[in-house]
Amino acid sequence: MFGYVRPVAAELLVKEHELYRATYCGVCRCMKKYTGALSNSLHSYDSVFLALVRMLYIDSSAISASKRSCIAHPLKKRVMLDENPALEYTARAFGILTYYKLCDDISDERLTKRLSVSLIRPIFASARRKAGLLPLCEIAKDRLERINALEREGVASVDKSGALFGELLGEIFAFGMDEKSRGVLYSVGYHLGKFIYAADAAEDYDEDRKRGRYNPYRALYGDGGLTDENRAMIKCALLLECRALEAAVCALPFGDNVSIENILKNIIYVGLPDRIAFLDKASCTDGTKGRK
């Protein structure tokens, strides 16, 4: 989807990196099972963050791994997590999010994109049916529609639509949890969502400007390109969002799950700041480089 939420592998222990990859493969397998045979082709690293967070809330005896091969990597067997409730939920929730995101993209003006979206959308339609998380569907639909409305209106603010996206991720993180855990999970999702929205908008600024599409930073700073000062300020706001996220992540109940803790902290302390490195460069045009 976005590919912003990834750790810096160089700073992970090998076993942590292995767990991260195994979780990725585990989510992928679950998507295949629960949201349709091809839905995992749109699977991204972002979902691993949710899977790891939700794994903190299930019994650690339910988490196991085994070596398997898969279609994407037929030659070598990989370590993958076996199915567990956290992975299942992640697969379903991301199926829903991807489906509504695609519905959203279909209103995109470019013909090629519209065609490709209409080709893969039916796969996710079944994903949504199978997913069986109706309240979450309603929330996803509502928030994305409201973001759309704000964008059509050309609102000159990143925080307004960003907050809606944050609410959506917050609900996804907290869905189905008891009252006690909801608060922390919601704020992890909320701040992560706001970060993703703002970072994505900043990265797409140049392209949106060329294509004449809406971008919150276009509405704020005009079409003259971002000055160094503008970029510094966008970065400053993003780092403040990271700080809020840090506070929420540090309140998660890690217990003995040191590996998960290190992966999540790697993501928020070095992974996310690394993803917005494009803001340091003189021009945003090569911004796609750091992306998955």
Partner 1 sequence: MNKDPYSILGVSRNASDDEIKNAYRQLVKKYHPDNYDGDNPLTDLAKEKMQEINWAYDEIQRIKEEGGYTGGGTYYQSSQGAYTGSSDPVYVEIRQDINAHRFADAERKLLAIDYAMRVAEWHYLMCLVLMSRKMNADAMRELEIACNMDPSNVEYQRAKEMFNQNAGAYGNTYYGSESSSYNRRRYNGRNDANDACDCCANLICLDCLCECMGGDFITCC
Q: Which of 97, 144, 276, 284 binds partner 1 (CB under 8 A)?
A: 276
Binding mask 20-59 for partner 1 (x = CB under 8 A): ----------------------------------------
Angle ∠(222,273,2) on CA atoms, nearest 5: 70
Closest CA to 235 of 217, 223, 252: 217
286 lines the binding site for partner 1 (CB under 8 A):
no
Nearer to partner 1, 38 or 233 (CB): 233
Tell me how far, at minimum, the Cβ of 106 lies from partner 1, in Å: 28
Give the count of beta carbons closer than 10 Å to the beta carbon of residue 253.
10
Give the Cα separation of 29 and 180 in Å (integer): 30
Tell me if 75 sits within 8 A of 131, measured CB to CB: no
Give the rounded distance of the alpha carbon of 51 from its chain centre: 11
168 lines the binding site for partner 1 (CB under 8 A):
no
Tell me which stretch binds partner 1 (CB under 8 A): 3-11, 65-73, 136-144, 167-175: 3-11
Tell me how far, at minimum, the Cβ of 267 lies from partner 1, in Å: 9
280 lines the binding site for partner 1 (CB under 8 A):
yes
Q: Strand 65-68 vs strand 78-81: parallel, antiparallel, or unpaired?
A: antiparallel
Nearer to partner 1, 134 or 240 (CB): 240
140 lines the binding site for partner 1 (CB under 8 A):
no
* Alpha helices (runs of H) in the chain, residue ranges in sequence order: 14-34, 46-55, 85-105, 111-131, 134-153, 158-174, 179-211, 216-221, 228-250, 258-266, 272-275
Tell me how far, at minimum, the Cβ of 232 lies from partner 1, in Å: 8
Tell me how far, at minimum, the Cβ of 159 lies from partner 1, in Å: 4
Tell me which stretch binds partner 1 (CB under 8 A): 28-36, 76-84, 119-127, 260-268: 260-268
Tell me if 207 sits within 8 A of 9, measured CB to CB: no
Tell me how far, at minimum, the Cβ of 49 lies from partner 1, in Å: 15
Which residues, 182 to 221, sit near partner 1 by CB under 8 A? 198, 220
Nearer to partner 1, 138 or 286 (CB): 286
What is the Rg, in whole angstroms, of the alpha carbon atoms belonging to the chain? 19
Tell me how far, at minimum, the Cβ of 251 lies from partner 1, in Å: 8
Give the Cα separation of 44 and 196 in Å (integer): 14
Closest CA to 155 of 215, 224, 84: 215
Tell me how far, at minimum, the Cβ of 87 lies from partner 1, in Å: 25
Tell me which stretch binds partner 1 (CB under 8 A): 29-37, 51-59, 99-107, 258-266: 258-266
Nearer to partner 1, 115 or 247 (CB): 247
277-284 long-range contacts, Cβ below 8 Å, gap at least 24? 278/202, 278/203, 279/202, 279/231, 279/232, 279/234, 279/235, 279/238, 280/231, 280/235, 282/228, 283/206, 283/225, 284/202, 284/203, 284/205, 284/206, 284/226, 284/231
Q: Which of 241, 249, 257, 284 binds partner 1 (CB under 8 A)?
A: 241
Tell me if 102 sits within 8 A of 114, measured CB to CB: no
Q: Which residues are near partner 1 by CB under 8 A?
A: 8, 10-11, 157-160, 162-163, 198, 220, 229, 233-237, 239-244, 246, 250-251, 261-262, 265-266, 269-271, 273-274, 276-277, 280
